[in-house]
Structure formats: structure tokens, C-alpha cells
Amino acid sequence: MGRGIMGVAKQRRYCPEDDRMVLAEKQTPNHLLHLLLSVLTLGVWLVVWIILIIGADLGAYRCPHCGARTRSSPPWGWKPRRRRRDEYEEEDED
């Protein structure tokens, strides 16, 4: 479990730079921690929380390999290249 103020959301998306599907990552606020901090600071922390939520929504899912912005789906007609083990190390197969 992440203990920082930011967590990471992961989603399967298409990376145009690598021309393949990747497990894209996006920074997202750790809401449980922010709720706790907001209570402890009598609501003052809500300002930080809201800023982080807005920032996370604006932030795109990015490719963990090249850092490029990913797309929700590949182009029409796109087919994955032949799978190679070394290219798909990010897949959680085990």
C-alpha cells in the first residue's frame, strides 16, 4: 500500500510512441490519507486535497517506458505486434 500523499492509478492503454499497449500510469491523490489530514487540520488540508484532485484529473496516463501520453484505445485497425517477452515485462502475469 502506498503511504505517500499521491498514489498511482494504472490502466491498460495504447502508447503511440511504442506502438503497443502498455500499463499506463497516472498520479492520483491518496484519498484516505487526505481525509485523515483534513480532519486533523480542521479542514485546512481540504485546499491541498482539492488542488491535487484537479491536478490529477488534468494529468494524463503516461507510458511507463517512454513517458509519452497514452491513448485510451489504439487507432482503428491496429493490431498488436507479435508478443515478445522482453517487451511485455510490465504485464502482471504471475
Q: Which stretch binds Zn ion (CB under 5 A): 7-15, 30-38, 44-52, 84-92?
A: 7-15
Q: Which of 7, 10, 8, 2 is nearest to 70 (CA)?
A: 10
Based on the shown chain and the rule CB under 5 A, indicate whether residue 23 belongs to the binding site for Zn ion.
no
Residue 70 cell numbers, joined: 497514452
Pick between residue 37 and residue 68 the one whose CB is nearest to Zn ion.
68
Pick one of 5, 6, 10, 18: the residue that binds Zn ion (CB under 5 A). Answer: 18
The binding track of 28-67 with respect to Zn ion, each residue x by CB under 5 A or -, is -----------------------------------x-xx-
59 phi and psi, to 5 degrees? -70, 140
Alpha-carbon span 18 to 43, nearest angstrom: 44
Side-chain half-sphere CA neighbours of 8 within 13 A:
10
Residues at the interface with Zn ion (CB under 5 A): 15, 17-18, 63, 65-66, 68
